[in-house]
Each structure stands twice: as C-alpha cells, then as structure tokens.
Structure 1
Amino acid sequence: MPALAEVPGIDFAKAERPARGAVALPVGKDGALEGISRDADRAAKGAIAEAIKTAGFKGAAGQTLTLYGVGPYGAVLLVGTGEGLKSATDLQTYGATVAKGTAGWTATVNVAVPDAKDVANDAAIAAQGAMLGAYDFGKWGKAAPASEPKVTLTFLAPDANAARRAWETDARAVAEGVFFARDLVSTPSNIKTPAWFADQVVEKFQGLPNVTVTMLDEAQIEALGMGALYGTGQGSVRPPRLVAVEYKGGTAGEAPIAFVGKGITFDTGGISIKPSANMWRMRMDMAGAAASAGAVLTLAKREAKVNVVAVLPLAENMPDGNAIRPGDVLTSMSGKTIEIMSTDAEGRLVLADGLWWTQEQYKPKLAVTIATLTGAVGGALGSDYAGLFTNDDALAQRFLAAADASGEGLWRLPVHPNTFKAIRSDVADVKNGGEGAPGASVGAAFIMEWVKEETPFVHLDIASMAWQNSGNAVDPKGAVGYGVRLFDELSRTYETK
C-alpha cells in the first residue's frame, strides 16, 4: 500500500497562552473569545477580535478564518465551535478541522482545546481527530512523503503529561486501526486479492504481543466443508482465504468477542452480474473484514483488557465457466444447504461459513457479523446510519450506546418471523434471497440461520456507511474505516477493570 500522505506531528504542552508563533484558537457563537483565545487576543491588542468583526466571522461549528501577522503570532487559525463542544465526536471534528486548516503550514502550531462536557482526555481525542482528518491514501506509483512532518500540532492541556499518555497508550491506536482499515478498502482489487489481503494482515500483526494469526487456504477451506465460502470464490482464478486474528488481552480462558467481517475483495455480482455503472466501487466490498481487522489492531496496540477475534472470510466474486449459478445448491460447513437465487447475494454465503467456523473454533461470548451486505439498507437509512439487527434488546442498547460514543451511527431494524419464512427453499434448507421481503432484513435473517442457540448475536449492515462520496472533517472521500471506532467503544464495555 502507498505510504500515508503527510500527517501532522502530534505533541502536547501545558494549557497557557502561547507567547508567539502559530496558533489555532476556538471561537464560540457570534465570535465569542474565551480562555486562551481571549488571552491571545489581549496579547494581540484586540486585533483578533477586530478581524473577527471585520470578516463577519460568526464562530459557527466548523467555520474557519485564517489570519497572518497578528500581534506576536505569525499565523492564527480560528475554528468555530458554535454552542460549544459536547462530545468526543465534536472534539474529533475540532481536531480534524485544525489539521486541515494548517495542512500547508511549516511550523509548530499551538492548539487551544475547548473543554467538552463529560469527555475525558479532551486534548488526546482532539489529536486523534487531527490524525483521522489528515488521512490521505495517496496514489499508486507516487513518491512517499517526507518522513518528517512539515507541521507539528501541539495540543494544549491542563496536564500535558497525562494527555501525552492518553495519546500514546490509547487514542493513537484507534487512529492507526482506522488507517489500516481505510488502506485495505482503498487498495485496487487487481492488487487486493484474497491472498494479498491475508498477507497484509499477517504482516501488520507480526510481533504484536498476545496475538495469534491463523490462515486457511483454499484446500483447507474445501476440506472443512465450507461450500458457501469455497463456492463464492470458485469463479475466480484468485482462490479464497480465511484469516483469524485472535488477541488475548483479557482474563485467561474467557471466551472472546468475535467480529466476523465480509471480505469480498471484488464483487462483480458473479453470473448475476451487476450493472457497469459504479461497479468500480465494489473494491470496497471487503469493508467489513477491514473493520474487523482494524478493530483488533486497535485493541492489541492499546493493550485492551479483553479477548477478541476477527474472522475474515475472503473471496473474489467473478463470472466464469466454473462460477456458481442461480439455481445451484451449496452445502455449508454446518451441513445446511443453500439454494442460490442470485450469485450477487454472496456476502451472506461467506459469512455463513465464517460464522459457523468461528463458533466451532472459539465459542465466542458474542458474535458480530459486519458487512457491506445490501443496497436496501441504504434505501432505509441513507448514509447516516448502518443497520443493526439482533433479537437481544439489551445487546441492541449496548451497541447503540457504543455508536453514540464513537460517532458511528447505528439504527435498529427488524427481522420479522415472516422474513425467515421467505427464505425457505423448495430444494434446499434455505435460499439466499427472499422475494417480496425487505432486502436488508432478508440478509440478516439468512445469516441468523447459522447462529447457534447459545451464541449472543448481532449483525451490522454497513453498505451505505463504508464509502463516502464527498467526505467530512474526520472521514475522507472514499474509504471511511467504519466500524473500527464502534468496535473499540463496544469492547471498552467488556474490558476487565
């Protein structure tokens, strides 16, 4: 993968008015200056307030104004905070806005960090947002950026040492997990074969303590009877893989949380081929696997006190003389048979075998499938929420709370008993489509057929969240890395205290 484009250096210092140099200052509603921002204006003999008034700068959230040569300051970036920052997501957005606004600068920038109510480690979270917002996948074949960043953002905190510890032991790891997921999703699929994906995961986790990586090749997949995973990939010259990344940071012997991520490295639709318009975007059809791997990377790097495993069933869905056809019947690892209604409903096939293998191998205390599964979920929820499916109300609330804390939106959707009836087959146990039933719920119901009675289970359909056409302060245009921050927040609720 290409080297990351220039991300800023990150440092921390005591929260006091900078004497000189470059600064980034928060500005409240109607241009209000408080704390360090007010002190900096006094040092500039009121020039900052005067510039705000002259420019008509209202301090709306995310609004910016850049000034040069103001009093003792060579450069000043003013960042609007509106009614104030109220959450970690707001702090991330503030930090990302600072990073974007200072991207061309070549100096150390002292960043005043506004207090966000009920958020610990404000400065570290703002720094995390700066790193996330500075991400750029870059271009293949182009020279890597300079090893040393051109700009260093020094975030001002009441206790600089505590902020630095929070960054180095926690917040940076989250950003690194998101970066890994974004890199995987962004990579073109002529490079990103199942074998390449598997090798990237092995390389990324090499040397990390308490981590074990297991990889199954196509022969092992076939020998285990994973007919759904093997069948999905049999139309491609690039054979399937299954990768498991287990991190043991919690109580010895305790069952792990399992993240099972759909890993279709490119999806043509197979024999049920997709329209050509926007098919190029199907390089992102492995975003669930990327999120699962990225989340475990985050947890391992911050040494989280929890046991987790990411399971990645990887395949390429191609049309070929050897590809599966509509009307075929596949036998999954569990022995359950599947009638193929559409070869373009392949994600649920690889998840069926991946989920069953996970339960057999790890007996997880919670199993979560995450997938760019259906276009229907976008029709229901747009690009504001991923779909959440579970029969467990307490689990649903736990996930929704994690979504709120992480800023990665979720909305619970139903799976009606009639949906299970809709996927009954005349020639097999189930079929991978349900005519007349809601599409996103059909996908969830199908996967639920492989959930053991004793396994708490949640399914996330992230089809409308994994890729941004325009981007925002924190998330770039293109691959978002959706799910890493959500799974990190969820895992915190399970950590050993």
Structure 2
Amino acid sequence: MKHWMTTAVAALALAMPAIAEARPVEFERAARPAGGAVVLPVGKDGALSGLSQDADKAAKGAIAAAIATAGFKGEAGKSLALYGAGPYSAVLLVGTGEGAKSAQDLKTYGGVTAQGTSGWKTPVIVVVPDAADVAQDASVAAMGAQLGAYNFGKWGKPAEAGEPAGGLTFLAKDAAAAKRTFDRDGAAVVAGVSLARDLTSTPSNIKSPDWMAQQVVAAFEGVPNVTVTVMDEAAIEAAGMGALYGTGQGSARPPRLVAVEYKGGKAGEAPIAFVGKGITFDTGGISIKPGPNMWRMRMDMAGAASSAGAVLTLAKRGAKLNAVAVLALAENMPDGNAIRPGDVLTSMSGKTIEIMSTDAEGRLVLADGLWWAQETYKPQLAVTIATLTGAVGGALGPDYAGLFTKDDALAERFLKAGEASGEMLWRLPIHKNSLAAMKSDVADIKNGGEGAPGASVGALFVMEWAKPETPFVHLDIASMAWENSGNATTPKGAVGYGVQLFDEIARGYEAK
C-alpha cells in the first residue's frame, strides 16, 4: 500500500446541533395488549385479524365500529387515531393493505407508527404484522420507527422543551431474538443513516471540507477496527490529484480527501470501496447555477456522507468483510482563483481533462477519489455514489437512482439489493457515442459532451478512471438524496440514500 502525507485533524470548533436521541424501543412477547396506548395493523377494507381482532373484542367492538364510521380502508401506509376505545387510552390503526410482504413494508409500518404516535407521552405497545420471508419482523419495524422519527432540528436551537414521546414496545414471537437482531443490525443501520442525514443537513457556511472531515473523525472515535485518514490540500496536491485540487481552488476553504477503512474480514482481503462525491456547496463555479433552489446544494456531498454512513453501519454491526469509504471533499466557488471553462487539469492517473463546465465538478473529484482508492486498496468492488446530474431526475424522477455498470452480473446484484433495502435503482445505458462526445482537441477527455444524455455522459466520464481489473458500479443519486415532503421512513430533508443499499450489498459479499 502506498503511504500518503496526511494532516492531523484539529479539535472540533463547530459541532453539529444536538440531534434528538432516537426514540427508545423495546421488545416483548406477543400477546393481546391489556390497555394503555396501542398500535394495531389493519388489513384491506378495514379487516382486523390476529391480535388486532383480539383487541377489538376487548374494546367490545369499538375499534371495528370506528373503522366503519371513518371509512378507513386499511390502505398501506395510512393511519387512523382513536382515543378512549374500551381499555385503550389511545389506538393508532396502521393500514397494511394486502399485507406486509417485505422488509420495506415493515419499515414503512414502523415509520408510520413512530410519526403517528409522536405526540403521545405514554409508552406505546405496537402489534407488528407478519411478513413472509422476513426474519424478526418486530426488529425491522423498530428500525423503520427510528428512521421515521429522525429529526435534525433547527440549527443553533436546543431541542424543544417538553415531555418526550413515550417509548415504543414492539411485540414479537421471540422478544429476546428480536432485541438481539435490532441491537446488532437495526441500530447499526439507524446510526449510519443518521450520520449521513446529519452531515447532509448541516448548512454549508458551517460545512467546509475540513469541518466535514473532522465530523467523520469524531463519528468513528472508539469504533473498533476502523482507521480514518485525512489528506489536506498540500497532500492532495503532492499526490497529483489535480482534478480534486482544481475543483476546490476557487474556495477559501480548501479540499480534503478522507478515507475511512474498516477491517472486519480476513487480513489482506481486498475491501469493497465506496467513493463518494463530497461537494460541500456547489455554486457551479464560474459556470454559476441559477438562483432558484441553489440553497439545496448543501446536499451535494450526500454521496460522501452516505459512504461514511455505510461504513459506520458495517463497523457497528461487526460485518465480516473489509470496506473503505473514500470521501472526495471540495467546495465549488466562483473566486478569482477558480478554474475556468477551457482550462485543462491533470488528474492523479495522468489523464488530462478539458473543462467545458465548472458545474460538472462532481465527476472531477470522483475521478481522483476513485483512482486513489484503487491505487491504495486494490478493491474487489468499487462503487462511486454522487448527486451527479439533474438529467437522472428527468429520466427517473424521485423513485429510482441511476445505476451504471458494464457488468451485467453486478447490475443484477445491485438491482436486487435495491429492492431488498428499499433504496431502488434503475439501470441506465452507457453508449460509445456518449464517450465520443467527450473527445477533446487539447486534452484526453472533456468533462462534458454536447448533445449526449447528461447522466450517461457523467457516468462514462467517471468510468474512464475505473481500472479494467476493478469491478465497478456508478450510482447517480441526484434525485434521491433530498426528500421535499417526507414519507414514513424519511422525514422532509436529507435522506441518507445509499446506506441501506450498501449494507445489503455488503451482506452479499459476506455470504461468499
């Protein structure tokens, strides 16, 4: 392994706000709740079964009567709150439609439960629906509850005073097994997603590349089997990373490259590498963006945040493999020292790049980050993840991230992992004509191509830095990193997209 000059990380000067602690969860053996506040699953057309039906009997039919009166159809993800129904002080009815069929259905059930009972100050008993082929239903629902209850809060403001919401107790056939599964796996996923959301949500006047590097160091303090390396701008320049250095040279806050290495597998075994775009704010540089919605460019480092979050999840659950997150961090600003359209940068690989647009900067930092990761770790899989192009949103909307790879088997593996994790992917094409559009007269390649599909051009550019021997996937998450209205497991704002997907991918490699 090559050794690079690194810089010591300064003491934290500006920490993130005190994020509210995750709502506590417990597990008990499944039985009809005797009283108090409860959550009950309701099937299609308001059907009650199992413990929900038993609870209605205890309430002398009051729950079924309320369902009929309200016209509640039990649609998946919908809910209805009742108060004073028989022995129950409060009842939240959560629809399951045709029934929970996947882990994602259970996470949605848990998220609706947490959000629908957020104002309840007493402990809440949660009856969990069964889902076919899902082990430990209650544990998965509890994970969804904590994901759905996430709250970044307001910067610089203490958490709102008042009594917190009551804890959630999930009923399980084997409560001890459900708790073990949650403590080992569910809590680790929540920690990784929360880290990614916290970093992405932080305002960019605070979130410089150095600040983000410091936060990542702090997040992994004391986590076993993890080493964090931070390269400052001098080390980046010395390593020949002209694309990363050039992207950040217009900012008064210089770039950083961070590597979070987790060793949970066999000694010497090649890791899987997640390389994340980390533009801590993107003005577009000299090719400045239009004003509307530029504020959201605080989230242009979401790929880097999710890469770090994924490795935190793997480390906290003790995954039996080696993994590394490489965060290529820079701020893209239109200073007098910024790069210009028409400039030529030399990347770490020696490949030269003609700049067509300074707003196509994410692919620049990924080029050097990916090459460095391959040179340093020789990974058995390399994945780049980035809020790279607006074009991917035009193609896929807010339902899928774009998946690009030349490897059909890898594509199938990632598509299945997307379905299992609930972080959906859609494979998009790469074509030689898109690469031809990036042919440069003065450099090896241009960072854009006129008339070619934007998302595919971005992906093909990054692929130019993937070595032939490295299995490689590129993910464009530009339309998935920020939730404008919120849903059951993702409150409005930063999503942390990629953490659950990468955890699922890692499980496949662990099973080899």
TM over 0.5: yes
Residue in 2 that maps onto 1:386: 401
SS across alignment from 1:382: helix
Residue in 2 that maps onto 1:264: 279
Residue in 2 that maps onto 1:179: 194
Is the aligned partner of 1:373 residue 2:385? no
Contact 2:82 2:92 in 1 (8 A): yes
Residue in 1 that maps onto 2:301: 286
AA of the residue aligned to 1:436: G
Residue in 2 that maps onto 1:20: 35
Distance (Å, rounded) in 2 between the aligned partners of 1:408 and 1:131: 17
Contact 2:265 2:321 in 1 (8 A): yes
Residue in 1 that maps onto 2:90: 75
Is the aligned partner of 1:130 residue 2:151? no
Distance (Å, rounded) in 2 between the aligned partners of 1:408 and 1:146: 34
Residue in 2 that maps onto 1:326: 341
AA of the residue aligned to 2:180: R
Distance (Å, rounded) in 2 between the aligned partners of 1:170 and 1:385: 25
Q: CA deviation at 1:7?
A: 3.8
Q: CA deviation at 1:145?
A: 5.4
Q: CA deviation at 1:31?
A: 1.3
Is the aligned partner of 1:153 residue 2:163? no
User: Given the two structures, how large is their TM-score scaled by the length of structure 1?
Assistant: 0.98
Q: CA deviation at 1:322?
A: 0.5
Distance (Å, rounded) in 1 between the aligned partners of 2:70 and 2:348: 66
User: Given the two structures, how large is their TM-score scaled by the length of structure 2?
Assistant: 0.96
Is the aligned partner of 1:9 residue 2:10? no
Q: CA deviation at 1:136?
A: 1.2
Distance (Å, rounded) in 1 between the aligned partners of 2:81 and 2:307: 39
Q: CA deviation at 1:47?
A: 1.3
Residue in 2 that maps onto 1:414: 429
Contact 1:217 1:241 in 2 (8 A): yes
Is the aligned partner of 1:363 residue 2:378? yes
Distance (Å, rounded) in 2 between the aligned partners of 1:15 and 1:149: 26
Matches within 5 A, 1:35-54: 35-54=50-69
Residue in 2 that maps onto 1:142: 157
Residue in 1 that maps onto 2:11: none
Distance (Å, rounded) in 2 between the aligned partners of 1:87 and 1:298: 21
Q: CA deviation at 1:6?
A: 5.8
Contact 2:310 2:500 in 1 (8 A): yes
How many residues of Structure 1 are paired with residues of Structure 2 in the alignment? 497
Deviates further, 269-278 or 60-69 = 60-69
AA of the residue aligned to 1:227: G
Among 198, 220, 245, which residue is 2:260 paired with?
A: 245
Matches within 5 A, 1:79-478: 79-144=94-159, 149-478=164-493
SS across alignment from 1:415: coil
Residue in 1 that maps onto 2:12: none
Contact 2:354 2:446 in 1 (8 A): yes
Q: CA deviation at 1:317?
A: 0.2
AA of the residue aligned to 2:168: L
Contact 2:121 2:163 in 1 (8 A): no
Gaps of 5+ in 2: 1-15
Distance (Å, rounded) in 1 between the aligned partners of 2:438 and 2:213: 32
Distance (Å, rounded) in 2 between the aligned partners of 1:11 and 1:98: 14
Q: CA deviation at 1:424?
A: 1.3
Residue in 2 that maps onto 1:31: 46
SS across alignment from 1:171: helix
Deviates further, 148-157 or 439-448 = 148-157
Distance (Å, rounded) in 2 between the aligned partners of 1:151 and 1:225: 54
Q: CA deviation at 1:149?
A: 4.5
Give a deviation string over 1:403-456, Cα, whole Å, max 9, x none.
Answer: 000111100011101111111110000010011111101001111111111101
AA of the residue aligned to 1:437: A
SS across alignment from 1:367: strand
Contact 1:6 1:149 in 2 (8 A): no
AA of the residue aligned to 1:52: I
SS across alignment from 1:236: coil
Q: CA RMSD in A?
A: 1.2
Distance (Å, rounded) in 2 between the aligned partners of 1:406 and 1:484: 9
SS across alignment from 1:69: strand
AA of the residue aligned to 1:238: R
Q: CA deviation at 1:4?
A: 2.3
Distance (Å, rounded) in 1 between the aligned partners of 2:287 and 2:93: 53
Among 66, 75, 81, which residue is 1:60 paired with?
A: 75
Contact 1:247 1:300 in 2 (8 A): yes
SS across alignment from 1:493: helix
Contact 1:3 1:145 in 2 (8 A): no
Q: CA deviation at 1:60?
A: 1.3
Distance (Å, rounded) in 2 between the aligned partners of 1:148 and 1:401: 42
Distance (Å, rounded) in 2 between the aligned partners of 1:240 and 1:231: 9
Contact 1:5 1:145 in 2 (8 A): no
Distance (Å, rounded) in 1 between the aligned partners of 2:334 and 2:384: 26
Distance (Å, rounded) in 2 between the aligned partners of 1:483 and 1:148: 33
Contact 2:240 2:348 in 1 (8 A): yes
Distance (Å, rounded) in 1 between the aligned partners of 2:67 and 2:283: 53
Q: CA deviation at 1:2?
A: 1.6
AA of the residue aligned to 2:414: F
Instruction: Provide the identity percentage.
Output: 77
Deviates further, 45-54 or 474-483 = 45-54
Distance (Å, rounded) in 2 between the aligned partners of 1:166 and 1:18: 23
SS across alignment from 1:246: strand
SS across alignment from 1:383: helix
Q: CA deviation at 1:146?
A: 7.0
SS across alignment from 2:359: coil
AA of the residue aligned to 2:108: T
Distance (Å, rounded) in 1 between the aligned partners of 2:105 and 2:298: 31
AA of the residue aligned to 1:48: I
